[in-house]
Amino acid sequence: MAAYVGLTKPRVIELLLLTTVPVMFYAARGVPDLGLVVWTVLGGTFSAGSASVFNCVYDRDIDEQMRRTRRRALPRHIVSPRAALVFGFVLGILSTVILYLGVNPLSALLSVTAIAFYVFGYTMLLKRRTTQNIVWGGIAGCFPTLIGWTAVTGSLSWTPVVLFMVVFFWTPPHTWALALRYREDYANVDVPMLPVVKPAAEVGRQIVIYSWVMVATSLLLWPVADTSLFYPVAAAVLGGVFLVQAHRMWDRTKGTENLAVIQPMQLFHTSNLYLSLLFVAVAIDPLISR
């Protein structure tokens, strides 16, 4: 059981749900219906798990050679590829049925689209071919903002699109920091992540650029969604902390490729905290402005 759960990448699911539920609070302008939250979270968990399982099946050849992933169930031959594939389809079907019947058809459609984009767009098409793999492939991870919104409203608007773009611009700094830490692994399996093909200083520069755009986009929610002052203040403070960390890492990359000096995992952990707290602010804002 632990092996099958591991195939779903629970830590990734946790981050995805952290961008789903707060959006539901904002869409409801308060506390959303508990039953709706349960069905959305359950369907979203199965959906993200399904995409991760398919990713593990397709990437099992390179996962076996990478330090970060070689302890997964497929490289260790605890679960067979066929069994994992069946598991992925079961999760995908369950997520679609749950979201269709328990939430609404639009949310179910967005979930299926996210799975397809992650599997076919990122895993199969982009990951092993271009340094832009995580930039465009990361779109799949932005869909929970849309799903959370449509679960409550049944329609789309500019508010979830802005939050979609925040996650879009957050993904490269988050992933490139991790990829910098494990760049030798990616190089050994010929996956052209940006830190593999570019020097650390260029990676740091790109991270800073995306970080500034991310923070600017997060502040755009204030006029677009007509939030209270609480949200932009929180977004500005969190964004300021993130930018300081991004610039510090960029400074540490200048003139060195030594990861002990660059310390990319500092920014990686900061990115996790930033996204979590930013979306907590999204959930709190309608509660204090009613």
Q: Is 157 helix (H, G, I), strand (E, B) or coil?
A: coil
pLDDT 10s digits, 103-154: 999 999 999 999 999 999 999 999 999 999 999 999 999 999 999 999 999 9
207 is written with which tokens?
């991270």
Q: Measured between alpha carbons, how far is 83 from 213 in angstroms, rounded to an integer? A: 42
For residue 247, name the pLDDT band (cuts at 50, 70, 90).
very high
Q: Measured between alpha carbons, how far is 133 from 143 in angstroms, rounded to an integer? A: 17
What pLDDT does 241 receive?
98
Q: Kindly write down the DSSP assignment for every residue of 83-95, as one continuous string.
A: HHHHHHHHHHHHH
For residue 46, name the pLDDT band (cuts at 50, 70, 90).
very high
DSSP structural state of residue 193:
-
Instruction: Check pLDDT > 90 for residue 15.
Output: no
Q: How confident is the model over 180-204, as a mean pLDDT?
A: 95
Amino acid at 64: E
- What pTM was estimated for this model as a whole? 0.94
C-alpha to C-alpha distances, 30 to 16, 25, 26, 162, 272, nearest whole angstrom = 20, 5, 6, 19, 25
178 is written with which tokens?
């991790």
Q: How confident is the model over 191-206, as a mean pLDDT?
A: 96
What pLDDT does 67 receive?
87
What burial letters (b/e) apply to 207-241, b meaning 16+ CB within 10 Å?
Answer: bbebbbbbbebbbbbbeebebeeebbebbeebbee
Q: How confident is the model over 17-34, as a mean pLDDT?
A: 95
Instruction: Check pLDDT > 70 for residue 286.
Output: yes
Helix, strand, coil shares of the chain as percentages rounded to 5?
A: 80, 0, 20
What pLDDT does 159 receive?
96
Instruction: Check pLDDT > 80 for residue 289.
Output: no
Q: How confident is the model over 255-277, as a mean pLDDT?
A: 96
For residue 290, name the pLDDT band (cuts at 50, 70, 90).
low
Instruction: Check pLDDT > 70 for residue 179.
Output: yes
DSSP structural state of residue 163:
H
What pLDDT does 214 receive?
98
Q: Give the dihedral of Cα atoms 131, 134, 135, 141; nearest 10 deg.
A: 170
Contact 16, 48 (CB under 8 A): yes
Q: Measured between alpha carbons, how far is 118 from 132 in angstroms, rounded to an integer? A: 14
